[in-house]
Structure 1
Amino acid sequence: MRLAAVDMGERLYHFQLFLDGGLERVVACLGVDQRLGYRLRPGDQVSLTGEVVARVSDEFPLWVRVDVRDAAGRVWSFVDKAPVFDAAVGPEAVLPVVAAVRCAVVRTVDDGDPGGPPLVVVTTAVDGVVAEDGTDQFTVRGEQLRYRAAM
């Protein structure tokens, strides 16, 4: 038996494939929903999806502006070194580029939609990262978050 993995699109799903020894047939497939809104607990370490939209400085280390949209649709901008945002971006990269702002869950919020995931309040203060206006707590949709390894 051999194993293979497939991540689709914006990493909303992860598929684990179990192949026969000759790699000719799929014996089984396991799909895992990567959206986190239903399972998050206060203190969980997560990454909030955003985009590098501009270079602030091309000198080493590269400083970038990352935009993140909250649950209400407001865009928040963060400026820091590219590695802080797990962004694979260099001076020649075509923007926008996917980025992630490291966060911790503060709490979930029941938005009154019984069929959907709750909203999640996160803080970016875990890495000392704040929006340009100094804000460090944001209410976002659960599907904007991914688990990250605790640092």
Structure 2
Amino acid sequence: MTREPLSPEDYASRISAYVYGNILVLTALVPLNNTSVAHAGFVVIGTGISTFIAHAFAESVGRSTRSGRSLTRIEKLEELRDSVPVLTSALIPAMVVGMGGLGWIDLSTALLLAEIWVVTRIAGITYVITRLRGERPNRGTLAASITLSLVAIAIVGVKLLLTH
């Protein structure tokens, strides 16, 4: 079975979900240092699920607005599929926090590892974008990767400053 390559609109939607999900998961992780493992796990999983639902809903409303009509069932399912990267943003961090819950590593170490994982995912998306454009990664890709991760960290800082 062969699959058609993603259209720029589809991969842009997935990349948007990916970045958005990772930023919100990172925002959820940072303030969890003085909490229980169970609470930390629920916060990470809850952030992933609630952000997925909100993102899929918002994208569906936007797509309906752009098309000037109600979405078909297939289009709604496509929006859910395109929002899945939000869920994947929480998957590894939840597993790492779970390792802390099992006593395999200290919770503060688990949270730090999960935060590093998320920042690395954010930085790494520039390589995916470069490949999707049919280009080869270069020094500019690395610079964009570093810049993207720093901007994401700044956004997390602003969100935490304004909401916590």
Task: Tell me the TM-score normalised to structure 1 length.
Answer: 0.25
**Higher relative helix content:** 2
Structure with higher RCO (Cα < 8 A, 6+ apart):
2
